[in-house]
Structure 1
C-alpha cells in the first residue's frame, strides 16, 4: 500500500508538471501578447516615418522600377544576339541618362554626385536617414552607369566585336561595377561613424571603424589546414594550389582554375553542387540588383 501511495503521489505530481506551461513558452506568449497590444502604436510610428520620408521612398521606388525595366530589357536584347534592336538599346541608354540627369538636377543643392568621386555631399549633419538616402541614390546611379556601358557593347556591330566575345566584356564591366560600388560607401560610413562633432568619442569611433573594415573583407580564401586536408593538389590542374579558394561545398581549387572552369560550367568540379557564391553568371548582360548598403 505504501508503494501504491507513492505511485499515486508521483502521478499527481506528474499531472501538475504536465499542466504547468514551460517557462520559455510562457515568455513567448508574453512577448506575443505585448506585440499584439503594441501593434497599433508601431503602425502609427511606421506611418509617421513613411510620411516624413515620403519623397525619398517615392524616389527609391521609382529608381528601382527603372532599374528593373532597363535590366530586363537589356538582357532580352543580349539574348537576341545578332537580331538585337539598336533602337531599343539606345532607348534604354537615353532613358537611363535622362533619369540620372533629372535626379541629380532636382537634388543639385545636396550635390549627391560628390559621393561618386569619394567626396561628401552638401549636407550639414549626416544622420542615419541621410546616409541611407545618399548610399541608395549613389548605388542606383552606378547601376545605371553599368547598364549604359553594357548598352554600348550590345550596340557594337559584329565587325568590330563578335557576339560570342561580348559576354567577356559584360563580365568585366559587372565585376568592376560591383567592386566600385563596394568602395563608394566606405567614406560615407567612415564620416558617419566618426561623426562631425569634435567632442564625440574618437575611441568608440575608432573601434567601430575597425569593425566596419573587417566587415568589408571579401573572398573565401582557403587556409593552409584546408589545403592540407585537400591533399595540397588542385583537382583541376593536378598541381600545387596557387591562390586557393574554397567553395561552399568545402572543396578547394586554384583561383585561376576556377575562373576557367566557371566559364563553361556552373557546378563544383568534384561534387557537381551549384556554387552560387562563386559563379560568374553575368555574361548574359544582367546587372546585379544587390543593394550595396555598406
Structure 2
C-alpha cells in the first residue's frame, strides 16, 4: 500500500525587533562590523550568527564598548542544544549605560533576561558567566530587544503574525557539560520509549503464536540494528550539543577580540 503525504517546509527566517523606551538614543544592530539596523525590524533569511546590539547614547563605540551590549545567535536547531542563544554583556570595556532586556517570540515566547543596573545578575561580567545565556530550541524564532523596559512583558511582538510555539524549549545554558548531559538524557529517554515499544510488540507476538527458532533469529537482527541506531543517535546528539556550546563561546570570544582590537587603536 502506498501512502502519500505532503510536507510544507518553510525557509528559515529570524526577525530582530527593537523597542526603545528610554526617550533617547538610537538602537544599533551590528554584525561583522556593519550596522544592519538603527531601530527598524531586521529580517535574516537564514541563520543569524555572532551579532551584537546596544543603544547608542553618544558614548558607545562600534562594537558596543562603554555600553550595555546584547550578543545573539539565532539559528534553527539541528540537534538538542544547537538552537538560538542570546545574552547581555557587561564585560569591560562594555559598561552599563541604559537598562536592557530581550525576549524571544514566535517561539519560546517571553523567555529572556533583563539587566536594570550595573551590577545586575543577568549579564556577563567575566567570560565564564555561562549561566546568563538563554537558549531557545524552536525553529524560526524571533528576538525582541527592549531598552529601559522589560521585553518579557512587552506587547511589541504581538503583531508578529507568527503562531506561538512551546516556551518550554528555552533554558539557561550553564556549561558544556550541562548541555551535553541534557542532550544525552533526551536521547536516553527516547531510547527507553523505543525499548518499551519493542518489548510490547514482542510480548504480543509470543502470546498469539509460538515463535520458531528461525523467526526469533529474524526478529533479533532488526532489534540489534535499532539498538545501534539509538546509540548512534545519542552519540550524535552529544557531539552536536558540545559543538553548539563551543560555537556560542567562539561567538563571545570573537566579540571580545573585536573590542580589544578597537580599544588598542
Could you tell me the TM-score, scaled by structure 2's length?
0.30
Higher share in helix: 1
